[in-house]
A and B are shown apart, each in its own frame.
Chain A
Amino acid sequence: MTSGPVGVASPESRVDGAARLPKKPGPTPFTIVTTLGAVVMTVVTARAVGFSFEGLIENLTRPNSVVEGLLNPDFSQIWSERSRAAFIETLQLAVLGTVAGASVALPLALWSTRVGNPNTFLRSIVRIFNNIVRAIPDLLWALIFVSAVGIGALSGLLALFFFSLAVTTKLTSDVLDGIDPGPVEAANASGAGLTQMLRTAVVPQILPSYSSFVLYNFELNLRSSAVIGLVGAGGIGERIEFFRSRGEWEEMWGLVVMFFLVVMIIEAFSVTLRRRLV
């Protein structure tokens, strides 16, 4: 065949003169309006909450026992029976909440799609339920259950269950839209039942993404489990709140830093695992 790379054959003149780009389009009215809107919103809200840089710097640099505690965190809490139990409870909450929530999320995601739920009425019921669950943030779930069930780990578990349900259902529903409909058609044409079809034709297609979402959800839950503890839903957050309320800043920061390390290590594992999945 011919020597030399393909595409160099065109005459010099074309390469020099004709390769001119058309005039670059300017920003669209949409871009201008949304950018302006974002700037105005930021300025207006910052003024509304009374934000000022001088104030922030002054507050942080003024002698302050909270900031001093951060500079001298006390890690001796690692020897405390109660703090260790709280750590373990946090991990248990995160694992159990994720497993329970994600297990229920899979059928709920499937039943919210046309393929998984041909009945229009039932499908809209599932969708409305999913939307309501998604609209409630983790801290609010915790408050709801602490008021309804009482202070303790059970409230935390219930809060994380619903939070996981919301997150994993949403993420899984989104990948369900993009599946290959071919195997679904094949299963239906073979006389399979709806559940059998979903299990054999749909679930294998979304399993890698779903597993990755479950791990991601676990990472979120680990952090959430600390926050919901602040309102009394068990785990390490409850212990942090205990020291905060007594003004024992060294101990509080010690716990926060240790929790931070634990989260970082577990997340590193989870992220590596997720990379291998997809």
Chain B
Amino acid sequence: MIRFSNASVTYPGGVQAMRDLDLTIEPGEFVVIVGLSGAGKSTLIRAVNGLVPLTSGQLQVNERDVTTLNRSGMRDLRSEVGMIFQGFNLVDRTTVLKNVLMGRLHEAPTWRTLLGLYSKADVHLAAQALDRVEIIDKAYVRASNLSGGQRQRVGIARALAQEPSIILADEPVASLDPPTSHVVMRYLQQIGRELGITVIVNLHFLDLATAYADRIIGLRDGALVFDGPGSECDADVFESIYGRSLTADDTMAKQAAL
């Protein structure tokens, strides 16, 4: 479970990217966060695994109080939370399998990692993760030789290899074309449903958001301005979240048609 209580984030420059947020996300929910660029979506996601510290308020993730964790507590928390990135964040020069094995580092002793040794169990988990996103045949291919959609599937497999209870995805399809975006979103949805993992996704396009979200959270200027099921989220609601009328840029289908 994830619970923000009266949580705020103010960056060193003075920008307040999270304002008195009260939000509870139950295990297994598939939540999509929407909002204009700069609304604080990334900040919210990155607060969950401690990449961005709160400036005030409380945040509980899996019974841990994120604001008071020491270094090893933080590493333990992060091992339970998988993360997927807009730019994939793969090591291009190494193989797909080695990239996915990065998800097992928390469980491996440092000396084994230094020698490049991975336990059989870790390799098995990595293979399972690759199999789930149907890219296991590329296990020994260099990551640089994959297409964007394949790279993001490797990114998902790396997160899955952690055996996480939560997966965070910060604009995971922003660098992909529409058909590939749907493939990636469907894998995320499947993972949530079949493995019971909580999935939190930042999305830019509201047609994608309504197509996949069980629950949509709208942010504006760091504050929560909408929280409801995807079915309740129509054009009027989006206009209120965005604070302006919708344009072709806001939906993937229309933007692709431009």
Footprint of B on A, CB under 8 Å? 180, 182-183, 185-193, 195-197, 199-201, 204-205, 207-208
Contact = CB atoms under 8 A, between A and B. Distances in A.
Given A200-B91, A205-B91, A207-B93, A193 B75 contact: yes
Contact of A191 (B76, B89, B113, B114): B76
Contacts of A180: 92
Nearest to B111: A195
B158 A186 contact: yes
Given A187-B102, A201-B102, A182 B83 contact: no
Interface of B: 49, 51, 74-83, 85, 87-94, 98, 101-103, 105-106, 108, 110, 113-114, 116, 155, 158-159, 162
Q: Is the interface of A mostly helix, strand, loop or mixed?
A: helix
Given A192-B106, A200-B105, 6 more contacts: A180-B92, A182-B89, A189-B83, A190-B106, A200-B113, A207-B93
B76 A199 contact: no
Contacts of A187: 102, 105
Contacts of B93: 204-205, 207-208
B78 A191 contact: yes
A201 B99 CA distance: 9
A183 B90 contact: yes
Nearest to B77: A191
Q: Which 4 A-B pairs have the closest CB atoms?
A: A191-B79, A182-B89, A191-B78, A192-B105
A196 B79 CA distance: 14
B114 A199 contact: yes
A185 B102 contact: no
A188 B78 CA distance: 8
A183 to B, nearest CB: 5
B114 A195 contact: yes
A191 B87 CA distance: 19
Q: Which of A185, A186, A192, A207 has most B Cβ within 10 Å? A: A186
A188 B75 CA distance: 8
A186 B94 CA distance: 15
B105 A190 contact: yes
A205 B87 CA distance: 16
Contacts of B74: 191
A186 B80 CA distance: 14
A214 B51 CA distance: 36
Given A183-B89, A183-B91, A191-B79, A200 B106 contact: no
B78 A189 contact: yes
Contacts of A204: 91, 93-94, 98
10 contacts: A182-B88, A186-B90, A189-B81, A191-B79, A193-B105, A195-B110, A199-B113, A204-B94, A205-B92, A205-B93
A191 B75 contact: yes
A185 B85 contact: yes
A207 B116 CA distance: 14
Nearest to B91: A183
A215 B106 CA distance: 34
B110 A200 contact: no
A190 B83 CA distance: 7
A207 B94 CA distance: 11
Nearest to B103: A190
User: Most chain-A CB neighbours within 10 Å: which of B51, B77, B89, B94?
Assistant: B89
B91 A196 contact: no
A1 B214 CA distance: 48
Contacts of A183: 89-91, 102
B113 A182 contact: no
A97 to B, nearest CB: 24
B108 A186 contact: no
Contacts of B94: 204
Contacts of A188: 51, 78
Nearest to B159: A190
Contacts of B90: 182-183, 186
Contact of B89 (A185, A192, A199, A207): A185
A200 B161 CA distance: 15
Given A196-B108, A196-B113, A200-B113, A190 B91 contact: no
A190 B51 CA distance: 11
A12 B90 CA distance: 51
Nearest to B90: A183
Given A199-B114, A201-B91, A190 B77 contact: no
A216 to B, nearest CB: 20
A193 B78 contact: no
Contacts of B78: 188-191
B71 to A, nearest CB: 9
Contacts of B101: 200
B197 to A, nearest CB: 15
Contacts of B85: 182, 185-186
A201 B93 CA distance: 10
B77 A193 contact: no
